């Protein structure tokens, strides 16, 4: 058995990691909730965002957090354009085909990055990665604390955007009833693209929070895809609050099962919980539809 | 009508059967074997996903179980390969029934069903990677010893014909679904489960039947895979690659059509080989081309290749 | 590289054109005097293992360049080596399919493979055609135990690496007055890491060490905080990691951040511990890290030259380059000994002869049932921002710094 201090630290680590997972899942759940598609290109888009942060740091000497100001709009624009010019037209609105198009897109993006940046693993050489905040006997990693706070803030902002703005209302209208939304004059294609852009913007924030402590290579985003899927389902597809809670839960579960089972078998903990939740409550923790 | 419908199916099988005897080089033969194995996995997926409308992202669970059963029974328990093959198909079917029972009874469908199957496959992968029985992370290597009992042939055309026979059987099964009462029920459940139930269809039983058949066919693909490559590890057996290949082939070929998975597998693998020609000094360019082609194919053939052919044929006045 | 190797100017193209024209005009007998021997190089340059594959290809390319510049295969009248490259895309099916293609293109032999799974299917596909296959690094012992007579491995097998790593660890500890007793093992859950952990669990207690914990983690790992947390609570004297680059970077940085300073970090086939990129980017985290790994002979001036050329190509140096560079030279020697591209004769030559080992510290390489019995890893340590060989003594460039001061 571990000392209480270790358990507390593991729980805090789990929460901090989980918040960033939540952010990645947020993009996925948003796109799912509105477009009703499972976006296979999510991991590759995260990798793109991570490379953008790396590029901003290596070439423009931007701090990864400052880079957020550039990378977030960039990824929003890229996401908007992708949905508007590639995914939408190529899939013709059929769910199967969207699946295939996003799959094709992930192959193109991942290998495009490989062709451009080659396969090297890159890291940011910022000192910020090693800073800690001492709380009693605990050493809490500063970049992860920043990540935790930012992820919560962004989730809040996104919620406000959806609840309180016209764009948000349009997105919700399209999510609920596409045909009806079109009838009342909402430009559905535009809303789709905005939603996809927002999903990518979430990834951009996540990339900025990850890069100080993580690394990037053409496949590094893939590490987060499966876990993001589980969070989305756990929280209920399309639910913002669900993604946040799901992310935190998965983070803590992963942390503890890693502590007791080892990180390798510990991965089973996540999937078993995922399966159990679905079998008992098939709509996820916060899901509404049957 | 039905006889004319069966024509392309028989023609395709006959063509594939004579192909290796036309002096194909080894690489082409190997390509065809791999493609047919993937087509078989896709045919399995199509039973549940195409006819039944239950999209699985975790057919690796069945593929891997079939493959591991075949390999482990031979290596650890001294079974001959045919016994391993039969047991692999049987075990794969059982795993299908178990996963189906749990998730259909819980009422999972759509994306939820898709992701729960993915989670099952991942659990299997992690376990297989850790267990001693499955060789752990080192995987399993079967010895290369051609013979009837080991199901390895020094003339690979025989193995090819065996794989083709499985593909033919799976095609027949698909065709049977298209015409049988079971198939009608399955399609009714796909189109509207509530309505089907109201008409007295036992939806759970129909779906369980579909997942059992589907898992059995995909498990057979796994068994043949390990007999062909004689190597297996957790990533190969239960990795997402085969789940994706199994759903990609039918969707590209034409979902819910008997020939779709075969056509799709040939098209996709062929495209993969063709883009290799572009591979040069910069790694990745060929795969970028592959992905771009995939997107283009979907844009121009939204109903899959089979759908495209039907549409083109439909347009020709002479055909009508 | 010769200065003439620059981009072809108009004049050299013209000259080349003339040469080609005269070649066409030459009678067939004369043309046959400068024959070409095709050599298949297979590496995973896309997919999960792209980085290793890319470096392996670079090593093979440099070797073929040098061989041809030095007059080709002299025993065959200066025949030129021509590389036929195949990308196994990091999956075993493609590895087999590409081997079939290489066979179709008429290569005399194949060098490469990298991962054990990729080597398993590729060697077997090649075995059907008695096509000689030289595995560069694929470590699984079983690869050369399947009775495939075409299959050879240049690098030390898993058993050889771990045996050497263990012996040298004990020697290192004893020479320093046994400062280390307790150990935590951190490994990736793949073939090498898991096998290593099992072996260490059996062997270390016999040699006076106590294993406090064995921690397995998946690749790619998203986070090493938990692993480091456990190391911190256990306070081991020694951490033995075995994983890939990304995970090692994560772990080393988190160790530094959490102020965990064991007396030594002794990696076995560590992904980053002897990577110059890691040393350059994280000098503080890297300092003092030891590694038992494939590494070129530091006394051979060509080793340093290869490193320079790798960096000139914009890549960071790792063992894949010298390993494949040397394996290609060895295969060329075998082809010369066989007197041509006859596959059975090459297999015969490889099975019976002894060969130079390029820049690898193997002395004369000899193959017993396919395994190079002279192959062995070297022990390195990061000292003063560079990777130095510390064992065995005959290759050592520096004294080990162990135990590290807390």
What pLDDT score does B5 carry? 67
| Rounded Cα gap, residues B252 and B301, in angstroms | 8
Query: Phi-psi region for residue C400, left (φ > 0), alpha (ψ -120 to 50) or beta?
Result: beta
Helix (H) or strand (E) holding B230: none
Are C223 and A111 within 8 A, CB to CB?
Answer: no
Nearest Cα to A211, choosing from A30, A84, A65, A33?
A65
Q: Which residue of B has its CA nearest to C189?
A: B137
Contacts of A279 in chain B (CB under 8 A): 102-103, 106, 108, 116
Chain C residue with minimal CA distance to B229? Answer: C121
Identify the residue among C222, C250, C256, C258 best suited for mutation to test binding to A, counting A beta carbons within 10 A and taking the highest: C222
- Identify all chain C residues contacting B34, using CB atoms and an 8 Å cutoff: 93, 96-97
Residue C352: Cβ within 10 Å count: 10
Q: Which two tokens stand for residue C169?
A: 């660890």
**Cα separation of A232 and A222, whole Å?**
16
Query: Which residues of chain A are at the C interface, by a Cβ-Cβ cutoff of 8 Å?
Result: 2-3, 6, 9-10, 13, 17, 111, 114, 118-121, 123, 125, 129-132, 139, 141, 144, 213-215, 217-220, 222-224, 227, 255, 258-259, 262-265, 267
CA distances from B137 to A151, B131, B209, C117, C354 (A): 36, 8, 34, 10, 34
Closest residue to B130, CB basis, from A86, A113, A265: A265
Radius of gyration in angstroms for the set of CA atoms belonging to chain C, rounded to a whole number: 23
Query: Are A282 and B118 inside 8 Å of each other by CB?
Result: no
**Is C40 within 8 Å of chain B by CB?**
no
Chain C residue with minimum CA distance to B127: C189
Residues 253-282 of chain B with CB under 8 A from chain C are 276, 279
Residue A123, helix vs strand vs coil: strand
Mind telling me how many Å the CA of B28 is from chain A's nearest CA?
Answer: 25
The DSSP annotation for A199-258 comes to HHHHHHHHHHHHTTTSEE-TTGGGGGHHHHHHHHHHH-TT-HHHHHHHHHHHHHHHHHHH
Of the candidates C53, C54, C117, the beta carbon closest to that of B233 is on C117
Q: Which chains sit next to C, with 3 or more Cβ pairs under 8 A?
A: A, B
CA C112 remoteness from chain centre: 9
Mutate to test the interface with B, among C114, C116, C120, C187 (most CBs of B within 10 A): C120
Q: How far is A213 from chain B (nearest CA, A)?
A: 26
What's the pLDDT score for residue B315? Answer: 58
User: Can you list the residues of chain C whose pLDDT is less than 70?
Assistant: 1-34, 406
Structure tokens at C139: 């470590």
Across the strands, what pairs with A139?
A: A134
Nearest to C220 among A111, A114, A223 (CB): A223
Percent helix, strand, coil in chain A, to 5, is 75, 5, 20
- Strand ranges, E, within B1-70: none
When CB atoms are compared, the residue of B115, B126, B282 closest to A233 is: B115
B-chain residues near C189 (CB < 8 A): 129-130, 137
- Asked if residue C161 lies in contact with residue C268, where contact means CB atoms within 8 angstroms, the answer is yes
Length of chain A: 290
Contacts with C, B 155-214, CB within 8 Å: 156
Q: Which class is domain C159-293+378-395?
A: alpha beta
Number of CB pairs < 8 Å for B and C?
Answer: 89
Q: Which residue of A has its CA nearest to C193?
A: A264
Q: How far does CA A280 lie from the centroid of its chain? A: 26
ipTM: 0.89
Distance of alpha carbon B275 from alpha carbon B291, whole angstroms: 10
Q: With contacts defined as CB-CB under 8 Å, which chain C residues touch A133?
A: none
Domain boundaries, chain B: 2-319
The β-bridge partners of A123 are A215
In this prediction, residue A94 carries a pLDDT of 78
Shortest Cα–Cα distance, A139 to chain C (Å): 7
Residue A37 pLDDT exceeds 90: no
Domain boundaries, chain A: 23-219
Q: Does B139 touch chain C (CB under 8 A)?
A: yes
DSSP per residue over A3-39, as a string? -HHHHHHHHHHHHHHHHHHHHHHHHHHHHHHHH----
Task: List the single residue in A105, A272, A283 with the smallest CB-CB distance to B295.
Answer: A105
Contact (CB<8Å) C277/A224:
no
CATH topology of domain B2-319: ABC transporter involved in vitamin B12 uptake, BtuC (1.10.3470)
- B144–C120 CB contact, under 8 Å: no
* Beta bridge pairs of residue C379: C292, C391
Reduced to 3 states, what is the DSSP secondary structure of residue B202? Answer: coil
The size of chain C, in residues, is 406
Q: Can you tell me the distance from the alpha carbon of B135 to that of B71, in angstroms, rounded to the nearest whole number?
A: 10
Query: Over the stretch A152-197, which tens digit does the pLDDT of each residue have?
Result: 999 999 999 999 999 999 999 998 888 899 999 999 999 999 999 9
Token pair of A257, please?
Answer: 């099962």
Q: Enter the tokens of residue C286.
A: 């890297």
How many Å apart are CA C64 and CA C328, to the nearest integer? 7
Residue C406 has a pLDDT of 60
Considering only CB atoms, C281 lies closest to which of A111, A125, A227, namely A125
Interchain proximity A271–B287, CB inside 8 Å: no
Nearest to A263 among C216, C246, C259 (CB): C216
pLDDT of residue A34: 87
Residue to substitute from B278, B295, B297, B306, interface A, most A β-carbons within 10 A:
B295
Q: Which fold has domain C3-155+299-372?
A: Rossmann fold (3.40.50)
Q: Is B165 on the interface with A (CB under 8 A)?
A: no
Of B115, B294, B298, the CB nearest to A229: B115
Nearest to C166 by CA among B3, A23, C158: C158
- For A13, the closest of C47, C215, C225 (CB atoms) is C225
**Helix, strand, coil in percent for chain B, rounding step 5:** 80, 0, 20
Q: Do A112 and B120 touch (CB under 8 A)?
A: no
Strand C109-112 versus strand C133-135 pairing type = parallel
| C contacts of B233 (beta carbons < 8 Å) | 117, 191
Chain C contacts of A259, Cβ < 8 Å? 226, 229-230
Low pLDDT (below 70) residues in chain B: 1-5, 315-320
With the C-alpha atoms ordered C154, B233, C247, C236, is the resulting torsion angle positive or negative?
Answer: negative
Calculate Rg over the CA atoms of chain A: 19
The 3-class SS string of chain C reads CCHHHCCCCHHHHHHHHHHHHHHHHCCHHHHCCCCEEEEEEEECCCCCCHHHHHHHHHHHHHHHHHHHHCCCEHHHCCEEEEEEEEECCCCHHHHHHHHHHHHHCCCCEEEECCCHHHHHHHHHHHHCCCCCEEECCCCCHHHHCCCCCCEEECCCCHHHHHHHHHHHHHHHHHHCCCCCCEEEEEEECCHHHHHHHHHHHHHCHHHCCEEEEEEEECCCCCCCHHHHHHHHHHCCCEEEEECCHHHHHHHHHHHHHCCCCCCEEEEECCCCCCCHHHHHHCHHHHCCCEEEECCCCCCCHHHHHHHHHHHHCCCCCCCHHHHHHHHHHHHHHHHHHHCCCCHHHHHHHHHHCEEECCCCCCCEEEEECCEECCCCCEEEEEECCEEEEEECHHHCCCCCCCCCCC
* Min Cα separation C393/chain B (Å): 33
Domain segments of chain C as ranges: 3-155+299-372, 159-293+378-395
Burial of C23 per CB tally in 10 Å (0-12, 13-18, 19+): exposed
Please tell me the predicted confidence (pLDDT) of residue B310: 84
The residues pairing with C3 across neighbouring beta strands, listed in sequence order, are: none
The set of residues, in sequence order, having a beta carbon less than 8 Å from that of A31 and lying 6+ positions away, is A37, A39, A42, A195, A196, A199
Using alpha carbons, list the distances in angstroms from residue C197 to A267, B295, C139, C153, C306: 19, 44, 15, 23, 33
Report chain C residues touching chain A, CB-CB < 8 A.
45-48, 50-51, 53-54, 189, 214-218, 220-223, 225-227, 229-230, 233, 245-246, 249-250, 253-254, 256-259, 277, 281-282, 314-316
pLDDT for res C212: 94
**CA distances in angstroms from A128 to A145, A213, C223, listed in the order given:** 12, 9, 17
Compare CB distances from A278 to B116, B255, B294 and report the shortest one's residue: B116
């Amino acid at each position: 058995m571990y000392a209480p201090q270790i358990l507390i630290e593991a729980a805090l680590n789990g929460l901090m990691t989980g918040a960033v997972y939540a952010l990645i899942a947020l993009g996925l759940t948003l796109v799912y909730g509105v477009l009703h598609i499972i976006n296979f290109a999510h991991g590759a888009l995260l990798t793109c965002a991570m490379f953008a942060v790396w590029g901003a740091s290596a070439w423009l000497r931007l701090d990864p957090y400052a880079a957020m100001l550039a990378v977030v709009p960039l990824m929003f624009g890229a996401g908007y354009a992708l949905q508007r010019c590639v995914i939408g037209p190529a899939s013709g609105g059929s769910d199967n085909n969207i699946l295939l198009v996003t799959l094709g897109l992930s192959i193109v993006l991942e290998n495009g990055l490989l062709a451009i940046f080659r396969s090297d693993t890159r890291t940011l050489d910022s000192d910020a990665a090693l800073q800690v905040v001492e709380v009693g006997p605990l050493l809490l990693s500063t970049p992860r604390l920043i990540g935790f706070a930012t992820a919560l803030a962004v989730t809040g902002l996104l919620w406000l955007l959806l609840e309180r703005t016209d764009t948000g209302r349009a997105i919700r209208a399209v999510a609920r009833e596409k045909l009806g939304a079109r009838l009342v004059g909402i430009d559905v294609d535009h809303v789709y693209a905005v939603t996809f852009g927002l999903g990518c913007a979430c990834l951009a924030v996540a990339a900025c929070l990850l890069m100080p402590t993580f690394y990037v290579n053409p496949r590094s985003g893939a590490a987060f895809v499966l876990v993001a899927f589980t969070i989305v389902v756990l929280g209920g597809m399309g639910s913002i609050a669900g993604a946040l809670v799901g992310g935190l839960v998965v983070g803590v579960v992963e942390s503890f099962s890693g502590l007791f089972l080892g990180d390798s078998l510990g991965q089973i903990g996540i999937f078993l919980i995922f399966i159990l939740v679905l079998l008992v409550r098939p709509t996820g923790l916060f899901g509404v539809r049957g | 009508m039905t006889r004319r419908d069966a024509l392309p199916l028989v023609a395709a099988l006959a063509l594939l059967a004579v192909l290796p005897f036309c002096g194909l080089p080894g690489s082409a033969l190997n390509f065809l074997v791999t493609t047919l194995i993937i087509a078989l996995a896709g045919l399995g997926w199509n039973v549940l996903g195409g006819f039944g409308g239950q999209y699985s992202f975790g057919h690796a669970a069945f593929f891997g179980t079939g493959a591991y059963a075949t390999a482990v029974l031979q290596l650890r328990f001294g079974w001959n390969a045919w016994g391993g093959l039969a047991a692999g198909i049987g075990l794969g079917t059982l795993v299908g029934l178990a996963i189906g029972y749990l998730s259909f009874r819980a009422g999972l469908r759509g994306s939820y069903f898709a992701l729960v199957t993915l989670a099952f496959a991942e659990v299997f992968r992690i376990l297989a990677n850790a267990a001693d029985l499955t060789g752990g992370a080192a995987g399993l290597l079967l010895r290369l010893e051609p013979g009837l009992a080991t199901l390895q042939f020094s003339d690979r055309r025989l193995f090819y014909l065996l794989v083709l026979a499985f593909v033919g059987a799976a095609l027949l099964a698909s065709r049977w679904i298209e015409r049988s009462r079971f198939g009608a029920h399955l399609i009714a459940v796909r189109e509207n489960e509530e309505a089907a139930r109201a008409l007295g269809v036992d939806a759970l039983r129909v779906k369980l039947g579909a997942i059992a058949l589907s898992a059995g066919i995909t498990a057979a693909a796994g068994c043949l895979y390990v007999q062909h490559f004689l190597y297996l590890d957790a990533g190969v057996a239960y990795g997402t690659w085969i789940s994706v290949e199994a759903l990609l082939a039918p969707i590209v070929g034409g979902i819910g059509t008997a020939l779709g998975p075969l056509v799709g597998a040939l098209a996709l693998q062929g495209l993969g080989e063709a883009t290799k020609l572009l591979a040069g000094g910069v790694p990745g360019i060929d795969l970028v081309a592959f992905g771009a082609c995939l997107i283009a194919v979907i844009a121009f053939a939204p109903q899959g290749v089979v759908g495209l052919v039907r549409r083109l044929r439909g347009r020709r006045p002479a055909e009508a | 590289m010769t200065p003439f190797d620059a981009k072809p100017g108009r004049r050299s193209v013209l000259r080349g054109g003339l040469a080609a024209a005269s070649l066409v005009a030459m009678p067939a007998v004369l043309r046959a005097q400068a024959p070409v021997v095709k050599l298949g190089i297979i590496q995973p340059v896309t997919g999960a293992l792209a980085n290793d594959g890319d470096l392996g290809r670079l090593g093979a390319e440099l070797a073929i360049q040098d061989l041809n510049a030095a007059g080709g295969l002299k025993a065959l009248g200066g025949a030129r080596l021509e590389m036929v490259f195949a990308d196994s895309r990091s999956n075993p099916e493609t590895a087999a399919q590409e081997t079939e293609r290489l066979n179709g293109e008429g290569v005399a032999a194949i060098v490469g493979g990298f991962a054990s799974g990729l080597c398993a299917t590729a060697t077997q596909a090649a075995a059907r055609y008695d096509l000689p296959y030289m595995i560069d690094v694929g470590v699984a012992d079983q690869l050369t135990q399947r009775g495939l007579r075409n299959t050879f491995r240049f690098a030390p097998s898993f058993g050889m690496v771990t045996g050497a790593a263990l012996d040298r660890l004990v020697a290192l500890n004893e020479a320093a007055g046994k400062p280390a007793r307790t150990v935590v093992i951190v490994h990736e859950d793949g073939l090498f890491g898991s096998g290593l952990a099992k072996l260490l669990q059996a062997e270390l207690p016999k040699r006076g060490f106590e294993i406090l914990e064995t921690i397995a983690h998946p690749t790619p790992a998203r986070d090493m905080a938990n692993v480091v947390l456990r190391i911190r609570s256990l306070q081991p004297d020694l951490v033995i990691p075995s994983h890939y680059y990304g995970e090692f970077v994560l772990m080393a940085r988190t160790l530094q951040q959490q102020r965990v300073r064991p007396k030594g970090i002794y990696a076995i086939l560590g992904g980053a511990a002897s990577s110059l990129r890691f040393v350059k980017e994280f000098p503080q985290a890297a300092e003092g890290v030891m590694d038992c790994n494939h590494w070129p002979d530091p006394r051979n001036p060509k080793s340093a030259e290869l490193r320079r050329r790798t960096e000139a190509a914009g890549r960071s140096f790792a063992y894949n380059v010298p390993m494949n560079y040397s394996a290609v030279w060895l295969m060329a020697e075998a082809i010369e000994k066989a007197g041509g591209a006859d596959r059975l004769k090459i297999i015969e030559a490889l099975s019976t002869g002894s060969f130079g080992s390029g820049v690898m510290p193997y002395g004369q390489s000899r193959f017993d049932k396919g395994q190079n019995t002279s192959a062995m890893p070297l022990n390195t340590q990061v000292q003063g921002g560079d990777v130095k060989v510390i064992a065995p003594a005959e290759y050592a460039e520096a004294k080990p710094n162990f135990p590290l001061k807390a």
